[in-house]
Every structure is written in C-alpha cells, then in structure tokens.
Amino acid sequence: MAKKIELEPITRIEGNIKVSIELDEVGDVVDAHAHLTEFRGFETFLIGRHITRVPFIVPRICGVCPTPHHLASVKAIDAGLQVEPTETAKMLRELMLMGGYIHDHTLHLFVLAGPDILLSDIPPERRGFTELYKRFPEVVKEVVGVRAIGQRIVATLGVQATHPCTAVPGGISKSLSKSGRDNLLKQVREVREKVIGWHDKIIPAFEKFADEYKGLGRIETNFLGLVGGDNLELYDGKSRAVGVKGDVLAEFKPPEYLNHVAENTVEYSYAKRCYIKELGLRDGIYRVGPLARVNVAKSSPGEYSGKFLKEFKSKYGAPAQETLAYHFARYICLVYAVERAEQLLEDDRIVGSNTKASISVRAGEGVGIVEAPRGMLIHHYRWNSSGYVTMANLIVPTTQNSYPIDASMKKVVERSIEKGKVDETKLWHETGAVIRAYDPCISCATHAITIVRGGERLRNIAGI
C-alpha cells in the first residue's frame, strides 16, 4: 500500500509550509507537494472598498514585503484612472521599493538562507542566526545595520517601515526635504560599501554550496520578470518571458498580462498556480524572483551589479537553471537596489515639491506590476463609477513559483528516499535548503478561491 511522509514545519521562511511525499508500494517516491494552507482573503474583502483606500489595505497582506503590494496597488489605480504621477513621485516610490529590497534581501541572504550556506560544516539542527553571529560577528553586525537603513528609507518615505501608507493615486503624499535626502544619501553610500564588500566573503561560500549540492532541486523552466530595455529592472518596464533555452517568448505591458499568464488551482493548497498561456500547462511552467530577473535581463546599469551579473552568467549560463543559484542572483539584486537608491538620491528632482497629480474618480480597470523581492507581483482591479472595487485579482511571486517548488521537491526527496529507506537528516536539510532558495512568502500566496457560508457555495473569486 502506498505511504505518505510529511515534513512539517519547514522553517526559516515567511510563514508555515508542509511538504508531503507520496510513496509507491515498494517505497519509492511517486510525487511531492508543498502545501500552503494558511487562509488569506484579500481578493474577497477588497471588493466594495473604495480605490483610494486599497493602497492602505494591501500592505497588510505581508509584514515582510508590504512595500511592493503598496506600490503595485497604486500603480494599478493610476493606470485605471489614466493619471500619470509626477516625476518626483515616481522617483520617491521607486526609492521606497529599493529600501524594501535592501532590508528584505539582506534578511534572507544571512538570517534565513545564510545558515545553510555559511554554516554548512555543522549539523543542520545547529544552524541558525546565533551560530552565525558566533562565527561571523562583524558581518552580522553589518547585516543588522544594513537592514536598519533599508527600513529607514521606507519609514522616511512611507511614514512607517512596516505597511507604508503614503503612495496615493496620482503620486505620493509625503515629499523629501533636502536635509532628509542628504542624510539618506550618506547612509546609502555607507551601505553600498558594505554590501559590495560582502561579495568576496559570501559569493565563494554560495558557489561552494551550489557546487557541493550541484543539481539539488534543479529543474528546467521558463522565466518571467521585468526589464528596462535589456537591463535589470525592479519598478517599471515591460514583462519579459524567456524560454528554457533562453529565447524570448513574449514581452508585454501590464494590461496585457492575461494574454500570457494563466492561473489554475490544486486541491492541496490555497495558493493558485500559474503557467505561460501560450505554452500550456505541461510546457508553460515558469519561475520568478531573483533567478528569473537575472535570466530575463542581459545587463544591469549599475557598475557592480553589472559586473556581478556578467560573473553570474559566465558561471551558470543563460538561462541559469540551478535552483541554488537563486542565492547569487539575490545578491546581485541587492547590489542593484543599493546602486539604484544612490542614483535616485543623487538626482535633485527627488526633492521637488510637486508630488501629486490631480485625479478624477470614474469607472475604470487597471493593472500594476512591480518586482517584489520574491518576484513579479501583479495587482489587477476593476471599480465602478463611484470608485468602489468590483473585482480584485492578485498574482504574487510564490503563486507563480508554486509549480516549480513542487517539481524541485520531487527531485530533492528522490535523493533521500529509496525503497522505503529514508535518510531523515539529509531529507530535512536538503528539502529546507531548496525551499529557502525560492524564499516563498506564504501569507502573500494563499487566497480564498471559493467562499462557503452555511454549506452553500457563494462565489468563485478567481473566475475559474
């Protein structure tokens, strides 16, 4: 009789996740799934809310990455109202996003995934931030300081570091003073030196880890991410889909996403799943996030992020398919965010006083896309003539990575299980290491598909 193994909880990620493994009658792996079973109903209770309130509600989806939700939301509303934010407003919004990246990627590289890599010579159960501090006290102190400055950028522009609230339809409600700019610029330059200095300390460790576990969780997929021309881009630009061999499959603007991205559901998870519509479910699985961003871009405009991107491509190819290469790619995106933050702060237009264009509420529909730290984030709303939301659809990075995570899980567990014999230490360690490479955010990804009240089905929110 077939058996099932469950691993729960997988730790050092944003939220809770369970991995189930199905075995056949002789004890070999048949399949593996990551279960995202937290309940989140944002797409439901946004309905009936006024569009001017939506950007203040959606950051509550996640306490780790609230800034991308805040900005994707307001970009969608701008598009639907056909309003163009002022240049200063766009710069301040983008700077807020860079602050979010600085704190988020630093957190994941060292606190969440870092112990797997930097402490690989000690037993998995001892790997954690405390042990990391014992071995690398000066680096850990830098990590805490860098994260704090990322949060300070968000708090300065968004009033509060967690759940910022200043991006409004047409612009942003808070300007940046010259003294405030000078203070942030000084701190960002200090961060830049530290982050670039980490390259020679952590990249060799990442590469050693990836080489030691070469092929761990490796799958071949398509990729989707934003580009500015051919450059790495986090805030604006076009969406680019790249195939398994590196060919460009499609490029599209936000309103066109439904022509290219399809969603469906599975019975074992509250998270929706995605694939490239033109390729169909079997061939259309794609990944998002740092690995996708460096695969869809040919270059980066920053001095060091551009240099490190070339180094990455020479090491892992184009496109890179090694799942553990997410870590090196994440570092490149962190460097880009620091360089872009410095560039924005050096531009005097960022301290302009014209931060909000006037708006006129009318019926509309809009789509906003930004690159959240974990990958492409899509907010899509429709509202009536009074400005009240009638439809909301959110496609978050972990939703798009759900199929790839499952595929990687099957590859991983096959290494530890054979004919009923299980290497438990290896199974837990390698499963956790691959999941943390994807850096899933469970609170962002889980949604209610069907509302049930009193046993009666009321609505299929996703339109599926």
pLDDT digits (tens, 9 = 90+) for 158-207: 999 999 999 999 999 999 999 999 999 999 999 999 999 999 988 999 99
Q: How many CB atoms lie within 10 A of CB 269?
A: 20
**CB atoms near residue 454 (< 10 Å):** 5
Strand 222-228 versus strand 286-287 pairing type: parallel
Residue 241, pLDDT score: 98
State the angle between helix axes of 178-197 and 137-158 in degrees (0 to 180), rounded to the nearest 10. Answer: 150
Q: What is the pLDDT of residue 452?
A: 35
- DSSP per-residue letters across 76-124: HHHHHHT----HHHHHHHHHHHHHHHHHHHHIIIIIISHHHHHTTTS-G
Look up the pTM and report it: 0.94
Q: How far apart are CA 59 and CA 63, in angstroms?
A: 7
Query: Contact 84/357 with Cβ under 8 angstroms?
Result: yes
Which letter does DSSP use for residue 60 in this model?
G
- Listing DSSP states for 420-441 in one string gives TEE-HHHHHHHHHHHHHHH--B
Tell me if 305 is assigned to some domain.
no
The pLDDT of residue 1 is 46
Residue 400 lies in a domain: no
Q: Residue 322's pLDDT is what? A: 97
Tally of domains within the chain = 1
Classified as helix, coil or strand, 340 is helix
Specify the pLDDT at position 271. Answer: 77
CA distances for 22 relative to 122, 181, 212, 218, 421, angstroms: 30, 55, 27, 20, 14
Q: Are 298 and 264 in contact (CB under 8 A)?
A: no
3-state helix, strand, coil in the chain (%, to 5): 50, 20, 30
Q: How far apart are CA 420 and CA 415, in angstroms?
A: 12
What number of other Cβ atoms are within 10 A of residue 270's Cβ? 19
Do 46 and 389 meet the contact criterion of CB atoms below 8 Å apart?
A: yes
Distance of CA 367 to the CA centre of its chain: 18
Distance CA 31, CA 22 (A): 5
DSSP state, 363?
Answer: S
- Output phi, psi for 371, to 5 deg: -90, 105
Residues 6+ apart with CB under 8 A from 409: 19, 21, 32, 33, 34, 217, 431, 434, 435
Is position 187 within any domain?
yes
Residue 239 lies in a domain: no
Question: 140 in a domain, yes or no?
Answer: yes
Beta strands in 104-176 (DSSP E): 167-168, 171-172
Separation between Cα atoms, residue 331 and residue 23, nearest integer Å: 37
User: What pLDDT score does 444 carry?
Assistant: 84
Q: What is the pLDDT of residues 352-409, one digit of tens each?
A: 999 999 999 999 999 999 999 999 999 999 999 999 999 999 999 999 999 999 999 9
State the greatest distance between any 2 C-alpha atoms of the chain, in Å, as a whole number: 70
Q: What is the pLDDT of residue 2?
A: 59
Task: Give the closest residue to 98 by CA, choosing from 237, 12, 165, 191.
Answer: 191
Query: What is the DSSP-derived secondary structure letter of residue 14?
Result: B
Token representation of residue 288: 């998002």
* Assigned domain for 101 exists: yes
Rounded Cα distance, 274 and 404, in Å:
10
pLDDT along the chain (464 residues), means of 10: 83 87 93 82 91 95 91 98 97 98 96 91 85 92 96 96 95 97 98 96 90 95 98 98 97 97 86 92 96 98 97 96 97 98 98 96 97 97 97 94 96 93 92 95 68 35 31
Instruction: Please indicate, yes or no, if residue 33 is contained in any of the structural domains.
Output: no
Whether 177 is covered by a domain: the verdict is yes
Q: Residue 172: which CATH number? A: 1.10.645.10
Range of the domain at 94: 86-215+322-351
